[in-house]
Amino acid sequence: MKVGIVGATGYGGAELVRVLHAHPEVSNLIVYSSSKQGSSLSETYPHVSHLPYRLEEIDPVAMNEANDIVFLAAPTGVSSQLAPALLAAGCTVIDLAGDFRLQDVEDYEKWYRKTPAPEEWIMRAVYGLPETNKEQIKTAQFIANPGCYPTASILALAPLAKAGLIQAESVIIDAKSGVSGAGRSASLGTIYSELNENLKIYKVNEHQHIPEIEQHLSLLGYASPITFQTHLVPMTRGIMATIYVNLKQEMTEQQVRDLYHTFYADAAFVRLREKGQYPATKEVLGSNYCDIGFSLDERTGRLTIISVIDNVMKGAAGQAVQNANILFGYAEQTGLQMIPVYP
Amino acid sequence: MKVGIVGATGYGGAELVRVLHAHPEVSNLIVYSSSKQGSSLSETYPHVSHLPYRLEEIDPVAMNEANDIVFLAAPTGVSSQLAPALLAAGCTVIDLAGDFRLQDVEDYEKWYRKTPAPEEWIMRAVYGLPETNKEQIKTAQFIANPGCYPTASILALAPLAKAGLIQAESVIIDAKSGVSGAGRSASLGTIYSELNENLKIYKVNEHQHIPEIEQHLSLLGYASPITFQTHLVPMTRGIMATIYVNLKQEMTEQQVRDLYHTFYADAAFVRLREKGQYPATKEVLGSNYCDIGFSLDERTGRLTIISVIDNVMKGAAGQAVQNANILFGYAEQTGLQMIPVYP
Amino acid sequence: MKVGIVGATGYGGAELVRVLHAHPEVSNLIVYSSSKQGSSLSETYPHVSHLPYRLEEIDPVAMNEANDIVFLAAPTGVSSQLAPALLAAGCTVIDLAGDFRLQDVEDYEKWYRKTPAPEEWIMRAVYGLPETNKEQIKTAQFIANPGCYPTASILALAPLAKAGLIQAESVIIDAKSGVSGAGRSASLGTIYSELNENLKIYKVNEHQHIPEIEQHLSLLGYASPITFQTHLVPMTRGIMATIYVNLKQEMTEQQVRDLYHTFYADAAFVRLREKGQYPATKEVLGSNYCDIGFSLDERTGRLTIISVIDNVMKGAAGQAVQNANILFGYAEQTGLQMIPVYP
Amino acid sequence: MKVGIVGATGYGGAELVRVLHAHPEVSNLIVYSSSKQGSSLSETYPHVSHLPYRLEEIDPVAMNEANDIVFLAAPTGVSSQLAPALLAAGCTVIDLAGDFRLQDVEDYEKWYRKTPAPEEWIMRAVYGLPETNKEQIKTAQFIANPGCYPTASILALAPLAKAGLIQAESVIIDAKSGVSGAGRSASLGTIYSELNENLKIYKVNEHQHIPEIEQHLSLLGYASPITFQTHLVPMTRGIMATIYVNLKQEMTEQQVRDLYHTFYADAAFVRLREKGQYPATKEVLGSNYCDIGFSLDERTGRLTIISVIDNVMKGAAGQAVQNANILFGYAEQTGLQMIPVYP
For the segment B28-74, what is each residue's pLDDT rounded down to a tens digit? 999 999 889 999 999 999 999 999 999 999 999 999 999 999 999 99
User: Does the beta carbon of A175 lie under 8 angstroms from any beta carbon of chain B?
Assistant: no
pLDDT mean across residues, chain C: 97
Q: Which residues of D touch A332 (CB under 8 A)?
A: none
pLDDT tens by residue, C58-81 = 999 999 999 999 999 998 788 999
DSSP states of D215-244 as a string? HHHHHHT--S--EEEEEE-SSSS-EEEEEE
Q: Among the options A17, A73, A148, A156, which is catalytic?
A: A148
Answer yes or no: CATH 3.40.50.720 is held by domain B2-145+316-327. Answer: yes
User: Does the beta carbon of C339 lie under 8 angstroms from any beta carbon of chain B?
Assistant: yes
Largest CA distance in chain B: 62
Please state whether beta strands B126-127 and B93-95 pair in parallel, antiparallel, or not at all (unpaired): unpaired
Cβ of B50 within 8 Å of Cβ of C271? The answer is yes
Pick from C188, C194, C236: which is nearest to A196 by CB? C236
Cβ of B197 within 8 Å of Cβ of A240? The answer is no
Phi first, then psi: give them for residue A43, nearest 5 degrees: -65, -40
Q: Which fold has domain D149-311?
A: Dihydrodipicolinate Reductase; domain 2 (3.30.360)
CA distance D298 to chain C (A): 9
Task: Determine the straight-line distance between the first and last CA of chain C, rounded to whole angstroms.
Answer: 33
For residue D315, the 8-state DSSP code is I
User: Does the beta carbon of C101 lie under 8 angstroms from any beta carbon of chain B?
Assistant: no
CA distance linking residue C125 with residue C72, whole number of Å: 13
Q: Order of strands, edge to edge, in the sheet holding B55-56?
A: B55-56, B28-32, B2-6, B69-72, B93-95, B142-144, B126-127
CA distance linking residue B119 with residue B84, whole number of Å: 10
pLDDT at A154: 98
Lowest mean pLDDT among A71-80, B50-59, C305-314: A71-80
CA distance linking residue A196 with residue C342, whole number of Å: 16
Asked if the bond preceding D150 is cis, omega within 30° of 0, the reply is no
| Pair C340, B285: CB distance under 8 Å | no
Spatial CA neighbour of A242 closest among A294, A198, A170: A294
Q: Which chain A residue has the Cα nearest residue C197?
A: A236
Cβ of B193 within 8 Å of Cβ of A343? The answer is yes
Spatial CA neighbour of D175 closest among D146, D218, D207, D197: D207
Interface test with D, best of B44, B47, B193, B198 (most D CBs within 10 A): B193
Phi first, then psi: give them for residue C74, nearest 5 degrees: -85, 165
Q: pLDDT above 70 covers what percent of chain C?
A: 100
User: Does the beta carbon of C51 lie under 8 angstroms from any beta carbon of chain B?
Assistant: yes
| Pair A310, A286: CB distance under 8 Å | yes
Residues of chain B with CATH 3.30.360.10: 149-309
For residue A282, the 8-state DSSP code is G
Is ipTM beyond 0.95?
yes
| Pair C292, C154: CB distance under 8 Å | no
Average pLDDT, integer, range C321-337: 98
Residues 235-274 of C with CB under 8 A from B: 236-237, 271, 273
**A173 membership: H or E segment, kind and range:** strand A172-177
CA angle B28–B33–B36, rounded 5-degree value: 125
| Pair C175, C149: CB distance under 8 Å | yes
| Pair D266, D326: CB distance under 8 Å | no
Residues of chain D with pLDDT under 70: none
- B333: CB partners within 8 A, 6+ apart: B268, B269, B325
Residue C332 scores a pLDDT above 90: yes
pLDDT tens by residue, C21-70 = 999 999 999 999 988 999 999 999 999 999 999 999 999 999 999 999 99
Residue B236 scores a pLDDT above 90: yes
Query: For residues B18-39, b (16+ Cβ closer than 10 Å) or e, as one string?
Result: bbbbebeebeebbbbbeebeee
Q: Which residues of B touch A284 (CB under 8 A)?
A: none
Q: Where are the alpha helices (DSSP H) in chain C?
A: 11-21, 41-44, 60-66, 79-88, 105-112, 119-124, 130-138, 148-162, 192-195, 209-220, 253-263, 317-328
The residues of D carrying an active-site annotation are 148
Q: Among the options C69, C82, C117, C148, which is catalytic?
A: C148
| Pair C114, C102: CB distance under 8 Å | no
Residues of chain C with CATH 3.40.50.720: 2-145+316-328
Q: Hey, what amino acid is at B117?
A: A
Q: Which chain B residue has the Cα nearest residue D237?
A: B193
Spatial CA neighbour of C110 closest among C213, C254, C207, C27: C207
Cβ of C47 within 8 Å of Cβ of B18? The answer is no
With contact defined as 3+ CB pairs under 8 Å, the chains touching A are B, C, D
Residue B5 scores a pLDDT above 90: yes
At C241 the three-state DSSP class reads strand
CA distance linking residue D16 with residue D10, whole number of Å: 10
User: CB neighbours (10 Å) of residue D253?
Assistant: 15
Q: Which chain C residue has the Cα nearest residue D301?
A: C227
Cβ–Cβ pairs < 8 A, chains C and D: 142
Cβ of A235 within 8 Å of Cβ of B236? The answer is no
pLDDT tens by residue, B276-333 = 999 999 999 999 999 999 999 999 999 999 999 999 999 999 999 999 999 999 999 9
Q: What is the CATH number of domain C149-309?
A: 3.30.360.10
Cβ of C299 within 8 Å of Cβ of D172? The answer is no
pLDDT tens by residue, B164-200 = 999 999 999 999 999 999 999 999 999 999 999 999 9
Q: How far is CA C54 from CA A195, C29, C38, in A?
A: 25, 10, 6
CA distance linking residue B238 with residue C4, whole number of Å: 32
Average pLDDT, integer, range A244-248: 98
Residues of chain D with CATH 3.40.50.720: 2-124
CA distance linking residue D271 with residue B31, whole number of Å: 55
Confidence of residue B75 (pLDDT cuts 50, 70, 90): confident
Q: Which residues of D touch C300 (CB under 8 A)?
A: 169, 225-227
Q: Where are the alpha helices (DSSP H) in chain A?
A: 11-21, 41-44, 60-66, 79-88, 105-112, 119-124, 130-138, 148-162, 192-195, 209-220, 253-263, 317-327
Spatial CA neighbour of C331 closest among C102, C134, C197: C134
Class of domain C2-145+316-328: alpha beta
CA distance linking residue D144 with residue D125, whole number of Å: 6
Query: For residues B121-159, b (16+ Cβ closer than 10 Å) or e, as one string?
Result: bbeebbbbbbbbbbeebeebebbbbbbbbbbbbbbbbbb
**B192 membership: H or E segment, kind and range:** helix B192-195
Task: Determine the straight-line distance between the first and last CA of chain D, rounded to whole angstroms.
Answer: 33
| Pair A171, A222: CB distance under 8 Å | yes
Structure-derived torsion over alpha carbons of residues D76, D82, D84, D89, reported in degrees to the nearest 10: -150
| Pair D310, D284: CB distance under 8 Å | yes
pLDDT tens by residue, A170-218 = 999 999 999 999 999 999 999 999 999 999 999 999 999 999 999 999 9
Cβ of B191 within 8 Å of Cβ of D194? The answer is no
Cβ of D342 within 8 Å of Cβ of A47? The answer is yes
Q: Hey, what amino acid is at A103?
A: Q
CA distance linking residue B19 with residue B21, whole number of Å: 6
pLDDT at D75: 84
Spatial CA neighbour of C293 closest among C253, C239, C248, C237: C253
Q: Hey, what amino acid is at C100?
A: F
User: Does the beta carbon of B50 lie under 8 angstroms from any beta carbon of chain A?
Assistant: no
At C303 the three-state DSSP class reads strand
- A274: CB partners within 8 A, 6+ apart: A257
Asked if the bond preceding B343 is cis, omega within 30° of 0, the reply is yes
Q: Which chain C residue has the Cα nearest residue A198?
A: C236
Q: Among the options B14, B96, B148, B173, which is catalytic?
A: B148
**B11 membership: H or E segment, kind and range:** helix B11-21
Answer yes or no: CATH 3.40.50.720 is held by domain D2-124. Answer: yes
At A126 the three-state DSSP class reads strand
Average pLDDT, integer, range B3-21: 98
pLDDT mean across residues, chain B: 97
pLDDT at D107: 96
| Pair B155, B216: CB distance under 8 Å | no
pLDDT tens by residue, B193-226 = 999 999 999 999 999 999 999 999 999 999 999 9
At A66 the three-state DSSP class reads helix
pLDDT at D78: 86
Q: Order of strands, edge to edge, in the sheet holding C172-177?
A: C200-202, C227-232, C172-177, C239-246, C302-309, C290-296, C270-272
Is A290 noted as a catalytic residue in this protein? no
- Find residue B242's DSSP bridge partners: B174, B306
Q: Which residues of A touch B193 (CB under 8 A)?
A: 343
pLDDT at A75: 84
Residues of chain B with CATH 3.40.50.720: 2-145+316-327
Confidence of residue C107 (pLDDT cuts 50, 70, 90): very high
CA distance linking residue A248 with residue A169, whole number of Å: 11
Cβ of A282 within 8 Å of Cβ of D237? The answer is no
Pick from B11, B22, B291: which is nearest to C338 by CB? B22
Cβ of A192 within 8 Å of Cβ of C191? The answer is yes
With contact defined as 3+ CB pairs under 8 Å, the chains touching B are A, C, D
User: Does the beta carbon of A330 lie under 8 angstroms from any beta carbon of chain B?
Assistant: no
CA distance linking residue C253 with residue D343, whole number of Å: 44
User: Does the beta carbon of C275 lie under 8 angstroms from any beta carbon of chain B?
Assistant: no
Spatial CA neighbour of C330 closest among C53, C98, C65, C69: C69
CA angle C53–C59–C61, rounded 5-degree value: 115
Confidence of residue B76 (pLDDT cuts 50, 70, 90): confident
Q: Which residues of D touch A50 (CB under 8 A)?
A: 271, 289
CA distance linking residue B158 with residue B221, whole number of Å: 9
| Pair A257, B172: CB distance under 8 Å | no
For residue D118, the 8-state DSSP code is P
Pick from B14, B50, B343: which is nearest to C180 by CB? B343
